[in-house]
Structure 1
Amino acid sequence: MPNLSIRSFANSLALRSALVPIVLAVGLAACSTTKKSSVGAHGGAAISQGASYSSEQIRQAVQQWGNKYEASPDDRNVALNYAAALRLNDQIDQAVAVLRKAMIKHTKDREVAAAYGKALAAKGQFDEALRVIRSAHTDDRPDWRLLSAEGAILDQIGKNAEARRQYGQALKIVPNEPSVLNNFGLSYALTGDLTQAEKVLRQAAAQPGADSRVRQNLALVLGLQGKFQEAERVALNELEPAQAEANIAYLRGMLSQRNTWNDIKAQDKKKKNRS
């Protein structure tokens, strides 16, 4: 049976944009203290949803890609990057609007469909998100990005076993793809199977293309198991020292509260058995 404390905690932190990272810094003002990646529109640089950006970098990206979008609204790369910047800035409704327009213009573009589906899921429109993803997917030409995106949405609505089947299909196409393994690992975390979550996230973090979100998610799962020293070592590679320490302290407190609650429930159960 899933550990409901862990599932509730994980759900509160993750899955707001189709399994964006469960990051340790949620609620702890991470934007100002994460180790920064570069972001911008100069030379058409793409925005990565898995990198860590400061609030100022995100603001600049929204402005720069917004200007490009105003000049070339039908350019699919511009639309994708502008929508990504908007999502990073929590402007979900606007990101959905941009991608909806891009879908009309690029009806058979699977990358646009995947981005649109994720944005809809971030807005809580899960049925519509699944419809968009599935309509873009064909059995004779499976697309691993669409399979992974569908799995992420299924995880959000509690269909974890079905989600894992989608991740498994995606990994047949791209074995050891870190973004798919990341979602796969988080799926186990959401049902309280932290041992399996750690195993899969370690595999993801070991891949050459693994990004910051994978390592932060691994740090979280380690912390949820009480492996604080290793969790802090992993987190220190992604966050400033003060932020990493604050995150571990936050996890310690959360686990302490969970254990206290479990002790109370155990005592209540003993009393009932005696009566």
Structure 2
Amino acid sequence: MSRAKTSLAVLALVLAAAATGCASTATKDEKAANAELQRAMEEALEPASPEEVAAANRADPLTKANFWSKEHAKDPENLETAITFGNALRDIGSDDRAIDVLSQVLVVHPDSAELLMVLGRALSTKQDYRAAVQAFNQAGTLEPDLAAAWGGLGTALDQLDRHADAQQAYQRALSIEPNRISTLANYGLSLALSGDLVGAEEKLRLADAQPDTTTRIKENLALVLGLQGKYDEMKAASGANAPRSIVDQNVELLREMVQPTRTWEALAERAEMGMLPASPASSNRLGPDAERAAAATSTPVTDESATVTTPENDAGLRLRKTY
């Protein structure tokens, strides 16, 4: 072999060796980068520490919801995280999002009564009472001794005007927890809306006798007493929660509504602004049936245990369910 050819061969070997070395170095760098990326991904998907969870749960509702959104994204099928996230969403008024999240997790965990309860409450808030009935009923079927499930079912059924079915659900809840205040109160209102004022008074008195009774319960009891003509008892029931002048005004107003002798304008002159039912368009005088219906109205509710505070001047003559 000539000297020139020998030199070329040696050069080729040197270049090949250099290329091999570079390739080997590049492979090591790539492996290191991939390993680092893998570690970062694993760390990002690790559940939050107990300290982080405790701090998030002490934070304001929006911060808490954002925290649990990230935790839910790490493991979308985790039941406990989904329930906590759903409750956090409800706390900031995002019931639609809560329903979406909980419905997806329900596919994976169809036997979770706790998840169904949160879902049922969110559906009730959105006034989808038919779906709420299904959620509460399924929760009660899964856990027959869960009084909250039967209480929630009762409130949803009442909103569908299925008062007899609602009352059966309340009875079942009370057979498990006889002093459950929200169920006693809502059972009383269901009976009132069915025309059973005596039964309504009994349940509302039991609710009002509980240590955690609320102004709303007292107002409803006072109204049911007034509808029976028990005006002195009505004053006693509501007297501690409103100025005396308003109590007397409400008693006189209810007396006029039950036994109409004056025109709507005359009643309106003596009533507080915003406290009367809407005036009928066709007549200046309320007929007996119309008056009773106007006095016994209710608002959409859920069966969640919560402390309800009512301003003193919010003492209008209307039935209102206990949350």
In structure 2, which of residues 192, 195, 202 is the aligned counterpart of residue 192 of structure 1? 195
Q: Which residue of the other structure, out of 77, 83, 86, is the alignment partner of 2:90?
A: 83
The alignment of Structure 1 onto Structure 2 pairs a total of residues equal to: 199
Q: Look up the equivalent residue of 1:261 and give its one-letter code.
A: G
- Is 1:205–1:214's contact at 8 Å kept on the other side of the alignment? yes
Aligned-residue offset at 1:149: 0.8
- The answer to whether structure 1 residue 211 and structure 2 residue 208 are counterparts is no
Where structure 1 has 5 or more consecutive residues not aligned to the other structure, the ranges are: 1-41, 46-62, 87-93, 265-275
1:135 is aligned to: 138
| 1:228–1:248 contact (8 Å) kept in structure 2 | yes
Which of 205, 212, 224 is 1:202 aligned to? 205
1:226 and 2:256 are equivalent in the alignment: no
1:70 aligned partner: 66
Is 1:125 aligned to 2:128, yes or no? Answer: yes
- Is residue 103–residue 112 contact of structure 1 (8 Å, CA) maintained in 2? no
Does the 8 A contact of 1:80 with 1:112 survive in 2? no
Distance of 1:140 and 1:172 partners within structure 2: 14
Residue 56 of structure 2 contacts residue 63 of structure 2 at CA under 8 Å; is this kept in 1?
Answer: no
Task: Judge conservation of contact 1:179–1:210 (CA < 8 Å) in 2.
Answer: no
Q: Give the TM-score taking structure 1 as reference length.
A: 0.58
Is the Cα–Cα contact under 8 Å of residues 64 and 88 in structure 2 kept in the other structure?
no
Scaled by the length of structure 2, the TM-score of the pair is 0.50
Cα distance in 2 between the residues matched to 1:236 and 1:77: 41
| Structure with more contact order per residue of length (Cα contacts < 8 Å, sep ≥ 6) | 1
Kept in 1, the 8 Å contact 2:114–2:139? The answer is: no
Structure 2 residue ranges without an equivalent (≥5): 1-54, 73-80, 262-284, 291-323
In structure 1, distance between residues paired with 2:84 and 2:214: 21
Alignment of 1:1-275 (within 5 A): 64-73=60-69, 74=72, 76-77=83-84, 79-80=86-87, 83=90, 86=93, 94-102=94-102, 104-105=104-105, 107=109, 109-138=112-141, 141-239=144-242, 244=247, 247-248=250-251, 251-257=254-260, 261-262=287-288
| Identity score, percent | 29
The residue type equivalent to 1:168 in the other structure is Q
Higher mean Cα deviation, 102-111 or 158-167? Answer: 102-111
CA contact (8 A) 1:99 1:112 kept: no
SS in 1 for 2:141: coil
Larger Rg over CA atoms: 2
Kindly tell me: are residues 79 and 238 of structure 1, through their superposed partners in 2, closer, same or farther at Cα, counting changes over 3 Å?
farther
**Distance change (3 Å), C-alpha of 1:101 and 1:233:** farther
Q: 2: distance between equivalents of 1:263 and 1:189?
A: 14
* Deviation by residue 1:155-193 (Cα, 9 ceiling, x = unmatched): 222222221111111111112221111111111101111
Q: Secondary structure at the match of 1:72?
A: helix
Question: Considering only aligned residues, what root-mean-square deviation do their CA atoms show, in Å?
Answer: 3.7
